[in-house]
C-alpha cells in the first residue's frame, strides 16, 4: 500500500508538472485574481481558465468526492498526497467555491440522487457559483430566530423575506437558503432550499464594509417560486442540514489562519523596515512580537493538517470546526495587526498606486470580520465549552 | 500637584466637550470623506477653533495666545479624539507651536499670529522611513549665503498639502543615524523647490511625501540651535506624544462608550448582550486599560508643564500605553458590535481607522518600549 | 498656600533626614525584615524599633488620621508631600498593618468615640497587630453565605465557628471579624465584631501554601465571649462596614503592582543573563517582553498616584479600588513570571543558599494568590462591569 | 503519514495510561518530596519502566531495545506529564540514548544494556549559564594520550546526583560562542575529577553543578565526531525538545482536566461555577491552545522519526508552543481553583511547579522564537 501511494505520488507530480501552467504556480496577485467559477466567470488569464478546466475534468477540484458526482474519487491518503504535491509545486487552488466547501458536503449527506447528479458535477467543474442565505437582519449569530417565510403552495413554495451578510450574492448563480416553513417551533420549522438567483423576485444590494470592499449583500425575496424538489433533507428539518454545513464553513474560514498566498510577516517587515547592523529586523520589539506570532502560526499549520487528517478519518470531534474557526480567525487578525505594524506609515495609505490601492489596510480591516462572520468567536467558545468540555449551561 | 484636573481645566473640558460634539462629530468626518475633501479637514472649523482660543492655547500671551499648558491642550485633544474631529490642531497648535518657541523672533512673528487666528496651518516633515525614526535624517541642509540650502525627501507629512508652513528636520552635520547634527527649520510650504505628493490615508486624512530640491532659507528659519536640533526635536516630539496620547484616550473612550451603549440595549438569544459575563469581563478589562492610559497621559502632560527631566520618558510611557489601550478599545468595539460594526454605514469603523494612524504617529508601543529600554540601559 | 507647602516640605525633609536611621533607608531584605508591630513584635534591628517609635510618636504612620486619634492630622496635600519626601530619601514604610490599611478607616467612619480612642492610637503606634476574619470554608469569594454564629447573651455574644484565609492570625493580637447574628436574611444578619485573639476559645492553625510559606491560618472559635460594646456599626449591619473595609483592602493589595522594594525586572535579567555584543540584554525576545511590561508597570505607577490623589480628594468612584486591585495584582503576577524567566535555571532552586532560600520561586508562587485573596480578579471584574460600567445583571 | 496515532501507538497509550496513573500519580511525587528523597524519583519505578519496555523504547532492537520512535516516546511522556511522575525517562531514555546512538560500539555496549534494564541512570550536563544556551561552551577538552582531559563546570544537570553516566558537552576547538568545535562525551559519574553540588528544585527534583577537574576519558567516550558535536547535540536537543513538549502537553491536560472537574462541581453564589460564561470562554481558549500545542508536538515527533530536515525547527515550534500553552494551563488552573489551589495540600500547585521547570529546560518560548527568527533570516 505504501508502494501504491508512492506510485500515485509520482504520477500526480508528473501530471501536475505538465498540466499546471507556470502562471498558476504563483500566489494570486489580489482577490480579483482568485478563481470562483460560475456563469459570470471572467478568467483573469487564459492560464486560469485552463487550470480550472484541467483540474475540473479530472475531478481534482474535489479530490475526495465520488467520481460519479464529478469528484476525483481519491482515498484520504491519496487526497493528502495530492495536497502535498500541489503545495510542493506551489500550484494555486484551481477553484474557490462555497459549492465545494459548504453545499457539496451537505448534498453528499442529505441530498437526493437527483440533486446530487444535478448539482455536484457542476460545482466540481466550477460552472455554477453558489451563495449562502442564512443570516437575517436582527438575527446576527442567532439563526433560530429567522423570519424569511416559504409558503406551501402544493408542489412549490413562495418565498418572501430578506437575508443579510450573503457573501457574494451579487456574483452568485444560485443560493442555498434557510427559510421558515412552520412558525410553530423555532428550530423545527426551518427548511433548506436551493434556487436560482437569476429568477424573478430575487434582488441583491451590496453592503459597503469598512474595508471599502463589498463582499456581502443584502438579498431580498419577493414572491420567489421554488419547486418542492429543491428542498434538501426533510421539510422542517433544514436545521440539521444547516448545522452540518456550518461546520464545513468554519473549517474553511479557519484556514485563513494559515498563511495562504500572502506575504509572510517577517518578509513584509524586512521589506519596509530593513535590518540593523547585526542583520536583524530593525525594530527589536516588533521583531520579538513577530517571532512569537510565527511560533503560533507554525503550530497552527500543524493543527490544520491534523484537523483535516482526523476529519477525513472520522476521528474529529463534531465541534472541532468551532475550535479551528476560533483559533484560525483570531490568528489571522493578529497576523494582519502585525502586517500593519510592519508596514508602518506605508500601510496607512488607502488609495495610492504605491500601496496597490491600499491593499494592506483593506485586508487588515477585512480580517476583523473573520471572527464575526460564520458564527462569532464568542459563539464558537460557547460551543467548545458546552459540547467539548461538557460545562453546564448558564 | 494632584494628578487630576483642577477647576479651570474642568471648565475648559465643559466647554470643549459640547463644542466638538456639536461642530465636529463623526458625521462631520464622514461628510468630508464622502465629498472627497482634499484637505481632510474643514477650514471653517479651524477658524472656529481660533474663536474658542484653542489654536493659540500653547502660544505665550506675549505672542497673542492663552499661555496654557499641555494638560489644557490634552483636555481639548481628548474631545477631538472622542469625536474623531479632523483638524490641524495636533500638528499646528502642539507640534509647530512647540517648535516655534525655539525660533527667532522673526520666525515667531512670521507664523504665530496666523496660527492663533486659525488662518495658518502647519505640517511636520520629520520622517523619512516607514516607521517613526526621528533621528534617522538623510535630508541635508548646507550653509549657503547667510542661510541654508536644503535637499532631500521627507515622508508621511500629515496635512502637508493643506499647509502653509513645514517644520523640517535636516542634517547639518554627522552621519545618517546620529542624533547630533540635526537642525530644525521652519520652511514656507510655498518656498521654491518644495514639491508634494499627497495620498489619502486609511482614516480619511492626507499625508504627503515632501521633496526638497535646493530649497533656500535664511538663518531666521532655524528653530533652536544649528546641529543641536535634536533638543528641540525632543521637546516637539514629547509634546506631540503627550498630545496624541490624550487624543487616543478620548478615542478609546468614544469607542468604548459607543460599545457599552450597544451592550446595554442590543438583544440576542432573548437576552441583553451586555448581561453576558464574558463580555462584561472584557468590558471591565478594557475600562482598566483606558484608565491606566489616562493616568499615564496626565502624568506626562504635568511633567511637560513642569519642565521636568522625566517628561520625555513619561511621554513615551503614555504614548505606548495609550497605543495599546486604544487598540484594544477599537478591536473590542468592532467585535462586540458584530456584523453591523463591519459596515461602512456604522460609525465605529472610523474609530478603528483613526486609531491605527494615531497609534503609529510619533512612535507606537514597540518604538517607545524600545526607547525606554535603551534609556534604562538594558 | 504653595509657600506653606514648600515650608512643610523643607521641614519634613529635615526631620526625616535626622530621624530616619540609615538602615531604614534600604529596602527590607526579606519578608521577615518588614515591621508589623504588635505585642509579639521582635524588631529585626534597633533601627527598625527606633524608626517605628519616631514615626508613631509624630502620628506619621497614619499621616492623614486626626491627631486626637494618634494620627498626623495632615491635609491631603501635606500627606502627599510626606510620601514624596519619604520616597526621595528611600525611607521604609515604618509599619505594615491591617489596622492602618483596613480597620482604621472603618473605625473612623463607623466606630463609636470610645472605640476610636481605644483602638486608633494603638494602631498608629504599632502596639496592636490586627487580623481579619472574613472568609470561611466553602464560602470563597461569596461572603454573604458565612456561617460563624454569634449568639446574643444580653450584654455579650458567644461566638462559635471557623474562619479561613485569616492572614497572619497566628501573629495577631486582635481580630475584626464578621459573624452571623441573624439567620433570617443573608447579608442583613451579619455583624462586625472586635475581639482579642489571646482569650480562651480562640485557636489558629497555619495553612501551608504552595510557596512553602504560611501567611494564612484557619481560625477556630469555640464559645468565645465578646462584649456587645465591641460591635462596630449597628448590629446586623456589619455588611456595610465590611464592604467599606474591603475597598481599603483592595487598595492595599493593588499597591503590589508597583515595584515596592524588590529588584527591577531589567536589573534581575541583566544580572543572570548579561549583555550581548551591542550592550543589550542577551535574550532578545525576553528583552522585548520586559520592555513592554515596563511600559505597563510605569503607567500603573502613574495610575496608583492618581488613584490616591482622587481618593483623598473624594473624587474616586466607589468601585475604583476594584479596578486597582484587579490591575495591580495581575501586573504583579506578570512581573514575577518575567522575573522567573529572567532568573532562568537559577530561579528554579528551592532551598539553596545561593538562591537565598529559593526566594525567587517562592515569591513567584506567592503572587499567584494576589488575584484570589481579598476578592478574586473575577469578582473585581464583575464589580467594575456592574457598578462602573452599568452593565445589566445576568 | 496521517497526523494522529496509529493503532499500535493507541495501544501503547492504553497501557501507559493506567500504568502511570496507578504507579506514579501526583501522590507519589508528594511522598518523595515529603520524605526528602535525595534522588527525586523512585528507583523501583525506574525498574518497572524497564519491565514495561519504556526504558529502551528508543534503543535499537540490535541493542536490546524496542526500536520505536519519538511518537511512541511521546505517548509515554504525555502520561508522565499528566501524572507528574518523576523519573529519569526524559534525560536517560530520550537524551542519553539519542546521544549514545552516535557513540562507538564500546560506548553503546557500556551503557545501553544498563539503561534498557532500568539499572543505569544518565544525566545531561549541557548547560553553563542561567538560561538554555547549548552552544556557549567554555568547558575545555584537550587531547591527552589516546583520549581527552576535560576541565570546566556545567550547570543545571538534572538528576546528576543520582546518575551513573554524564553526557557532557566540551570545547575541543573554537571560541566560546561558536557552534563549531564542540564535542560530546559520555563520562562515568564516578570518574576521578568529577564532583557534584546538587540542589533541590522548585518541583522537588534535583539539579547539580558539575565540576570537571582533569577528568581523563579515552577516545571511545566521544559521541559523534570530534569538533562536530553540535550535529549530535542538535539531534539530542531536538529529541529532548519534542519529548519535553509531549510531557508538557500531558501536564497541561492534567491540570486542565482537574480544573474542568472542579468547574463542573464547585458551587458559588448558588451556581455551578463552570456555568459562568467568562470561565467557560477561558476554558475553551485554553482547550484550543493545548490542542494546537499537541498538533505541533506530534508533527515534530513524526519529522524526527522520518529523519526530516525540518525536524529541528518543528521541535522548536513544539517546545515554544507547549511552553506557552502549559503556562496558561497551570495559571488558569490555580486561578480557577481559588484559595484551595494555593494550598500545598491540594495537588494542583505541583503542576505549576513542574511546568516551570519543564518549560525552562531545553529552551523556553523566548529562546525558540529567537532561534526560529534567526533560522528564518530576520
Domain end point (choices B72, B88, B121)? B121
Which H or E run contains C231? strand C231-232
Summarize the confidence of residues B210-233 as an average pLDDT. Answer: 96
pLDDT of residue A256: 52
Mean pLDDT for the stretch of residues A307-322: 90
Looking at the complex, report in whole angstroms how far the Cα of residue D339 sits from the nearest Cα belonging to chain A.
21
Residue A333 lies in a domain: yes
To the nearest 10°, the Cα dihedral for A170, A176, A177, A178?
-150
Same domain assignment for residues D243 and D369:
yes
Beta bridge partners of D260: none
Express each pLDDT in D16-62 by its tens digit: 999 999 999 999 999 999 999 999 999 999 999 999 999 999 999 99
Separation CA A247–CA A321 (nearest Å): 6
- Number of domains chain D is built from: 3
Domain membership of residue C101 (yes or no) is: no
The residue among D177, D209, D226 that closes a domain is D226
- The grid coordinates of residue C228 equal 456587645
Cα(C374)–Cα(C367) distance, rounded to whole angstroms?
13
Q: How far is CA C295 from the centre of its chain?
A: 25
Q: How confident is the model at residue D270 (pLDDT cuts 50, 70, 90)?
A: confident
Is the pLDDT assigned to residue C140 strictly greater than 80? Answer: no
Q: Which of A193, A136, A197 is nearest to A172 (CA)?
A: A197
CA-CA distance, D232 to D101, in Å (whole number)? 9
The b-or-e profile of C234-266 (16+ CB within 10 A means b, else e) is ebbbbbbbbebbbbbbbbbbbbbbbbeebebbb
Looking at the DSSP assignment, which residues form a beta bridge with residue C162? C220
Indicate the pLDDT class of residue C375, thresholds 50, 70 and 90: confident
For chain B positions 235-274, those within 8 Å of chain D (CB to CB) are: none
Contacts of C147 (CB under 8 A, 6+ apart): C136, C139, C161, C180
- In this structure, is residue B316 part of a structural domain? yes
D210 and D73 together in one domain: no
Could you count the other beta carbons within 10 Å of the beta carbon of residue D182?
A: 28
Tell me whether residue B1 is in a domain. no
pLDDT value, residue A142 = 64
pLDDT score for A140: 56
Mean pLDDT of chain C: 91
Q: Are residues A7 and A83 in the same domain?
A: yes
Positive or negative: CA dihedral D96, D97, D98, D99: positive
Which chain D residue has its CA at the smallest distance from C273's CA?
A: D130
The span from the CA of A8 to the CA of A20, in Å, is 17
> Structure pTM?
0.93
Grid cell 429568477 in the structure block, residue: A199
Which of A18, A27, A128, A145 minimizes the C-alpha distance to A87? A27
pLDDT at A259 over 60: no
User: Of A79, A96, A113, at which residue does a domain stop?
Assistant: A96
- Given this model, what pLDDT does residue C261 score? 52
D281 touches chain B (CB under 8 A): yes
pLDDT at residue A139, rounded to an integer: 66
d(CA A119, CA A63): 16
CA C205, C211, C215 angle in degrees (round to 5)?
35
Overall average pLDDT of the C160-186 stretch: 92
Strand partners, D170: D183
**Cα–Cα distance measured from residue A355 to residue A347, given in angstroms and rounded to the nearest whole number:** 7
Q: Which residue of C has its CA nearest to A280?
A: C284
Q: What percent of chain B has pLDDT over 70?
A: 100
pLDDT band at A251 (very low <50, low <70, confident <90, very high): low
In chain A, residues 172-201 whose CB comes closer than 8 Å to chain D: none
Length of chain D: 378
A140 belongs to a structural domain: yes
A71 plus A139 within the same structural domain: no
pLDDT greater than 80 at residue A255: no
Closest by Cα among D210, D170, D175, D180 to D193: D210
B267 beta partners? B272
pLDDT, residue A262, reads 67
Neighbours of C, requiring at least 3 CB pairs below 8 Å, are A, B, D
Establish if A389 touches chain D: CB-CB under 8 angstroms: yes
On the question of pLDDT at A179 being above 80, the answer is yes
Whole-number Å distance between alpha carbons of B82 and B85? 8
For C51-96, how does the pLDDT look when each residue is reduced to its tens digit (9 = 90+)?
Answer: 999 999 999 999 999 999 999 999 988 998 999 999 999 999 999 9
The residues that bridge with B271 in the sheet, in sequence order, are: B268
Residues D148 and D192 in one domain: yes
Domain boundary among the residues C44, C79, C96 is at C96
- Average pLDDT of every residue of chain D: 97
Q: Is the torsion defined by CA of B222, B228, B234, B239 positive or negative?
A: negative
Question: What's the full length of chain A, in residues?
Answer: 394
CATH of the domain at A18: 1.10.540
Band (pLDDT 50/70/90 cuts) for residue A159 is very high
Q: Model confidence over D115-157: pLDDT tens digits? A: 999 999 999 999 999 999 999 999 999 999 999 999 999 999 9
D216 pLDDT band (50/70/90 cuts)? Answer: very high
A210–chain B Cβ distance below 8 A for any pair: yes
**C362 exposure class (CB count in 10 Å sphere: 0-12, 13-18, 19+):** buried
Is the pLDDT reported for residue C209 higher than 50? yes
H or E segment at C58? helix C46-58
Tell me the C-alpha distance between A120 and A107, whole Å: 8
Nearby residues of D165 by Cβ (< 8 Å), 6 or more positions away = D96, D111, D120, D121, D122, D123, D186, D187, D188, D189
pLDDT class of B98 with cuts at 50, 70, 90: very high
- B340 or C258: whose pLDDT is higher? B340
Cα distance between the two ends of chain C: 51
Between residues C203 and A77, the one the model is more confident about: C203
What pLDDT does C353 receive? 84
> Number of folded domains in chain A?
3
The pLDDT of residue A253? 61
Task: Determine the pLDDT at residue A89.
Answer: 94
Choosing from A179, A203, A237, the residue where a domain stops is A237
| A246 lies in some domain | no
User: D322 with D235, same domain?
Assistant: yes
Mean pLDDT score, C5-29: 94
- The pLDDT, as a whole number, for residue A1 is 60
Q: How many residues does chain C have?
A: 394
Mutation to test the A interface, candidates D242, D291, D294, D308, most A Cβ within 10 Å: D291
Give dist(CA B26, CA B350) in Å, integer: 8
Contact D280 A381 (CB under 8 A): yes
pLDDT tens per residue across span D305-328: 999 989 999 999 999 999 999 999
Q: What share of chain B is helix, strand, coil (3-state, %, to 5)?
A: 55, 15, 25
Q: Confidence band (pLDDT; 50, 70, 90) for C259? A: very low
User: Is B2 a member of any domain?
Assistant: no
pLDDT of C382 strictly over 70? yes
- What CATH number does residue A284 fall under? 1.20.140.10
Q: Is residue B90 part of a domain?
A: yes
Q: Is B350 helix (H, G, I), strand (E, B) or coil?
A: helix
Whole-number Å distance between alpha carbons of D139 and D143 = 14
CATH of the domain at D362: 1.20.140.10
Kindly report, residue by residue over A21-64, the tens digit of the pLDDT: 999 998 887 777 899 999 999 999 999 999 999 999 999 999 99
| Residues D92 and D167 grouped into a single domain | no
B141: left (phi over 0), alpha (psi -120 to 50) or beta: beta
For D157-180, how does the pLDDT look when each residue is reduced to its tens digit (9 = 90+)? 999 999 999 999 999 999 988 889
Could A285 and C292 be called an inter-chain contact, meaning their C-beta atoms sit closer than 8 Å? yes
B292 closest CB neighbour out of C77, C288, C327 = C327
Q: What is the DSSP string of A291-330?
A: HHHHHHHHHHHHHHHHHHHHHHTT-S-TTHHHHHHHHHHH
CA distance D273 to A186: 29
What's the CA gap between A58 and A65, in Å, rounded? Answer: 11
Do residues D176 and D63 share a domain? Answer: no
Q: Cα distance from D340 to chain C (closest Cα, Å)?
A: 9
The reply to whether B216 and B325 lie within a common domain is no
A92 lies in the same domain as A138: no
Cell numbers linked to A367:
480580517
pLDDT digits (tens, 9 = 90+) for B110-169: 999 999 999 999 999 999 999 999 999 999 999 999 999 999 999 999 999 999 999 999
Alpha helices in chain A (DSSP H): 2-19, 46-58, 76-88, 98, 104-110, 113-124, 238-254, 265-273, 284-312, 320-343, 359-367, 377-383
CA distance B276 to chain C (A): 6
Domain interval for residue D321: 230-376
At B263-274, the pLDDT tens digits run: 999 988 789 999
Q: Band the pLDDT of D283: cuts 50, 70, 90.
A: very high
Does any domain span residue D2? no
pLDDT band at C312 (very low <50, low <70, confident <90, very high): confident
Distance CA B250, CA D364 (A): 39
pLDDT tens per residue, range D49-98: 999 999 999 999 999 999 999 999 999 999 999 999 999 999 999 999 99
A120 within a domain of the structure (yes/no): no
Partners of D281 on chain B (C-beta within 8 Å) are: 278
Amino acid at each position: 500500500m505504501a508502494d501504491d501511494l508512492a506510485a500515485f505520488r509520482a504520477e500526480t507530480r508528473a501530471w501536475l508538472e505538465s498540466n499546471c501552467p507556470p502562471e498558476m504556480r504563483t500566489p494570486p496577485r489580489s482577490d480579483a485574481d482568485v478563481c470562483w467559477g460560475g456563469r459570470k466567470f471572467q478568467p483573469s488569464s487564459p492560464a486560469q481558465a485552463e487550470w480550472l478546466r484541467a483540474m475540473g475534468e479530472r475531478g481534482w477540484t474535489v479530490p475526495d468526492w465520488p467520481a460519479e458526482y464529478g469528484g476525483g474519487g481519491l482515498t484520504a491518503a491519496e487526497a493528502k498526497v495530492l495536497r502535498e504535491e500541489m503545495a510542493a509545486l506551489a500550484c494555486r487552488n484551481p477553484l474557490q467555491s462555497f459549492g465545494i466547501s459548504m453545499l457539496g458536503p451537505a448534498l453528499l449527506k442529505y441530498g437526493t440522487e437527483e440533486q446530487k447528479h444535478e448539482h455536484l458535477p457542476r460545482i466540481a467543474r466550477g460552472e455554477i457559483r453558489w451563495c449562502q442565505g442564512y443570516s437575517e437582519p436582527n438575527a446576527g449569530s442567532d439563526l433560530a430566530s429567522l423570519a424569511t417565510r416559504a409558503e406551501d403552495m402544493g408542489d412549490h413554495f413562495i418565498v418572501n423575506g430578506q437575508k443579510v451578510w450573503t457573501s457574494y450574492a451579487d456574483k452568485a448563480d444560485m443560493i442555498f437558503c434557510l427559510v421558515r416553513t412552520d412558525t410553530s417551533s423555532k428550530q423545527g420549522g426551518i427548511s433548506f432550499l436551493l434556487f436560482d438567483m437569476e429568477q424573478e423576485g430575487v434582488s441583491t444590494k451590496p453592503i459597503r464594509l469598512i474595508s471599502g470592499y463589498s463582499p456581502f449583500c443584502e438579498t431580498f425575496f419577493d414572491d420567489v417560486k421554488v419547486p418542492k424538489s429543491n428542498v434538501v433533507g426533510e421539510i422542517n428539518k433544514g436545521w440539521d442540514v444547516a448545522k452540518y454545513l456550518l461546520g464545513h464553513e468554519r473549517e474553511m474560514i479557519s484556514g485563513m489562519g494559515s498563511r495562504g498566498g500572502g506575504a509572510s510577516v517577517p518578509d513584509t517587515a524586512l521589506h519596509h523596515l530593513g535590518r540593523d547592523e547585526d542583520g536583524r529586523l530593525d525594530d527589536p520589539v516588533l521583531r520579538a512580537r513577530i517571532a512569537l506570532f510565527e511560533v503560533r502560526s507554525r503550530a497552527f499549520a500543524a493543527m490544520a493538517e491534523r484537523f483535516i487528517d482526523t476529519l477525513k478519518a472520522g476521528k474529529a470531534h463534531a465541534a472541532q470546526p468551532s475550535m479551528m474557526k476560533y483559533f484560525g480567525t483570531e490568528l489571522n487578525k493578529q497576523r494582519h495587526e502585525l502586517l500593519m505594524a510592519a508596514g508602518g506609515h506605508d500601510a496607512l495609505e488607502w488609495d495610492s498606486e504605491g500601496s496597490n490601492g491600499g491593499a494592506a489596510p483593506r485586508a487588515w480591516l477585512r480580517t476583523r470580520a473573520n471572527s464575526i462572520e460564520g458564527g462569532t468567536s464568542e459563539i464558537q467558545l460557547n460551543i467548545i465549552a458546552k459540547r467539548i468540555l461538557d460545562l453546564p449551561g448558564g | 500637584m494632584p494628578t487630576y484636573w483642577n477647576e479651570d481645566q474642568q471648565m475648559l473640558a465643559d466647554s470643549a466637550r459640547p463644542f466638538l460634539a456639536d461642530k465636529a462629530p463623526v458625521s462631520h468626518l464622514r461628510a468630508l470623506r464622502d465629498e472627497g475633501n482634499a484637505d481632510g479637514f474643514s477650514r471653517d472649523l479651524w477658524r472656529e477653533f481660533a474663536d474658542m482660543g484653542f489654536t493659540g492655547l500653547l502660544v505665550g500671551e506675549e505672542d497673542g495666545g492663552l499661555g496654557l499648558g499641555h494638560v489644557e491642550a490634552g483636555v481639548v485633544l481628548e474631545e477631538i479624539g472622542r469625536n474623531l474631529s479632523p483638524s490641524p490642531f495636533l500638528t499646528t497648535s502642539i507640534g509647530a507651536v512647540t517648535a516655534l518657541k525655539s525660533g527667532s523672533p522673526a520666525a515667531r512673528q512670521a507664523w504665530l499670529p496666523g496660527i492663533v487666528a486659525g488662518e495658518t496651518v502647519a505640517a511636520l516633515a520629520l520622517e523619512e522611513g516607514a516607521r517613526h525614526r526621528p533621528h534617522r535624517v538623510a535630508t541635508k541642509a548646507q550653509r549657503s549665503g547667510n542661510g541654508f540650502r536644503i535637499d532631500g525627501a521627507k515622508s508621511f507629512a500629515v496635512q502637508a498639502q493643506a499647509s502653509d508652513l513645514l517644520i523640517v528636520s535636516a542634517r547639518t552635520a554627522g552621519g545618517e543615524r546620529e542624533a547630533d547634527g540635526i537642525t530644525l527649520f521652519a520652511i514656507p510650504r510655498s518656498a521654491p523647490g518644495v514639491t508634494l505628493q499627497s495620498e489619502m490615508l486609511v482614516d480619511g486624512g492626507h499625508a504627503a511625501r515632501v521633496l526638497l530640491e535646493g530649497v533656500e532659507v535664511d538663518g531666521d528659519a532655524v528653530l533652536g540651535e544649528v546641529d543641536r536640533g535634536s533638543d528641540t526635536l525632543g521637546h516637539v516630539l514629547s509634546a506631540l506624544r503627550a498630545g496624541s496620547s490624550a487624543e487616543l484616550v478620548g478615542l478609546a473612550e468614544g469607542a468604548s462608550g459607543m460599545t457599552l451603549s450597544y451592550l446595554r440595549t442590543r438583544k440576542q438569544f432573548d437576552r441583553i448582550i451586555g448581561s453576558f459575563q464574558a463580555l462584561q469581563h472584557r468590558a471591565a478589562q478594557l475600562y482598566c486599560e483606558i484608565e491606566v492610559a489616562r493616568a499615564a497621559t496626565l502624568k506626562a502632560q504635568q511633567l511637560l508643564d513642569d519642565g521636568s527631566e522625566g517628561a520625555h520618558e513619561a511621554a513615551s510611557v503614555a504614548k505606548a500605553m495609550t497605543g495599546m489601550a486604544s487598540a484594544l478599545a477599537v478591536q473590542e468595539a468592532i467585535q462586540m458590535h458584530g456584523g453591523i460594526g463591519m459596515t461602512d454605514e456604522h460609525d465605529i469603523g472610523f474609530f478603528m481607522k483613526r486609531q491605527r494612524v494615531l497609534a503609529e504617529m510619533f512612535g507606537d508601543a514597540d518604538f517607545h518600549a524600545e526607547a525606554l529600554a535603551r534609556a534604562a540601559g538594558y
